[in-house]
Amino acid sequence: MRGHRLYIWGIIALFALALSLAGCDTNDLGNTLATSGPAATRPTTRPVATTQSAAQPETQVADQGGARPVLQQVTPIPDNLQQQLDAEEQIVANVFARVGPAVVRIETSEGLGSGFLIDTEGHIITNNHVVASSQGGPLLVSFSGLFQTAGTVVGTDPDSDIAVVKVDELPEGIVPVEFGDSDQVQVGQRTIAIGNPLAQDRTVTTGIVSAIGRTIDENEQNQGGYRIGGAVQTDAAINPGNSGGPLLDSHGRVMGMNTAILSQSGTSSGIGFAVPVNLIKKVSKALIAGGSYEHPWLGVGLQDVTTYQAKQNNLPSAGVLIQPSAQNGPMAQAGLRDQAILTAINGTPVTSSDQVIAFLELNTNPGDTVTLMTVDGSGKKHELQVTLGARPQVEDRQQP
């Protein structure tokens, strides 16, 4: 019986040893055989470096016990997706290569900004606030490379923050920018901004069109200023020094001019605004021809009214509340004596003051007759024929 029991215990001991060795590598085997006593523990091992395949890269990840490495494959980017990424990068690179040379740096005694060449006669578009401090004096205009020349201000329009500068010499072979159509701009469309932010020459940033039909409040730039309608909002980085530079689409066409940012720090916070290119076309043509531009004028104050506000103030409906702001203004001459709700201009519905401003700026001129649909305080609808006037100049307006 004793021999039988020893035989059984021997089998048990061998079975236990086999189980112990089953989980060990070569180093573990030596350590296990060299360790005696029931209290011995299995030593911790370090992962062994593994040569990774170039075609299928692998990453070592420790298992839950922290003892053995587990190889995990890294999923490569599919070829079709990589080609798409490469194509998107090439779009930006191509646009910068084609349009970048036409973007200039404009320096005055007070600071610097950006601009872009629009024709072979040397006319350059920029912001009025970039050149306003020059007071008619010479400007320093720098193209790419070392080409630098003097420029003069041809005309300015504070209300649209647009100015035209002219240079008498151009780099050889330079190609002016191509204008797009801001009426065709869509939210989500790619944007490419080129300029000189914080004095860093010809910097390119990218983003999307975040919103359209915004307004830029020029009251912050000059007292008695009006709002610029139809502005394009983008999340492309816009910083001081970008002012006057172009905002481009994927084809390299100008959709607007970078003009303002909304920021608490004074630098980019992802909310930038560009004057729409269709307004630039109208204003720049007039500035080149005569040095000034006349804006269409209704002579009314505008205020947005929601359905809730309409109920609270006993107004006939939601819409744009209008009230004559000048005794002899166009609306007063058309017969409007009290406040009313404006609902449409020339058959186009309007639901905000931004839409009213953008429609007038981009589609009308002083002397045009427009048809306004209004609702008076009693709820009665009226159709008014109004001949637009010319907006008073900044110096002639009543100061707040």
| pLDDT tens for each residue of 241-287 | 999 999 999 999 999 999 999 887 888 888 999 999 999 999 999 99
- Whether residue 129 lies in the annotated active site: yes
pTM for this model (two decimals): 0.76
Q: Which two tokens stand for residue 21?
A: 């060795």
> According to the model, what pLDDT value does residue 44 have?
29
- Whether residue 382 lies in the annotated active site: no
Q: How far apart are CA 222 and CA 299, in angstroms?
A: 19
Query: First-to-last CA distance in the chain?
Result: 116
> According to the model, what pLDDT value does residue 74 have?
73
Residue from 134, 142, 159, 161 carrying the catalytic annotation: 161
CATH superfamily name and code, 178-290: Trypsin-like serine proteases (2.40.10.10)
Q: Which two tokens stand for residue 65?
A: 């016990």
Q: Which two tokens stand for residue 131?
A: 């050149």
| Structural fold of domain 296-396 | Pdz3 Domain (2.30.42)
DSSP code at position 177 = -
Residue from 114, 129, 134, 249 carrying the catalytic annotation: 129
Residue from 182, 243, 268, 284 carrying the catalytic annotation: 243
> According to the model, what pLDDT value does residue 32 have?
37
Under 8 Å between Cβ of 302 and 182: no
> According to the model, what pLDDT value does residue 238 have?
95
**Residue owning tokens 């290119």:** 277
Name residues of the chain where pLDDT drops below 50: 1-14, 16-19, 21-63, 223, 398-400
Q: How far apart are CA 51 and CA 8, in angstroms?
A: 47
Q: Residue 371's closest CA among 340, 331, 332? A: 331
Q: How far apart are CA 49 and CA 61, in angstroms?
A: 12
Q: What are the residue boundaries of the structural domains of the chain, listed by start? A: 178-290, 296-396
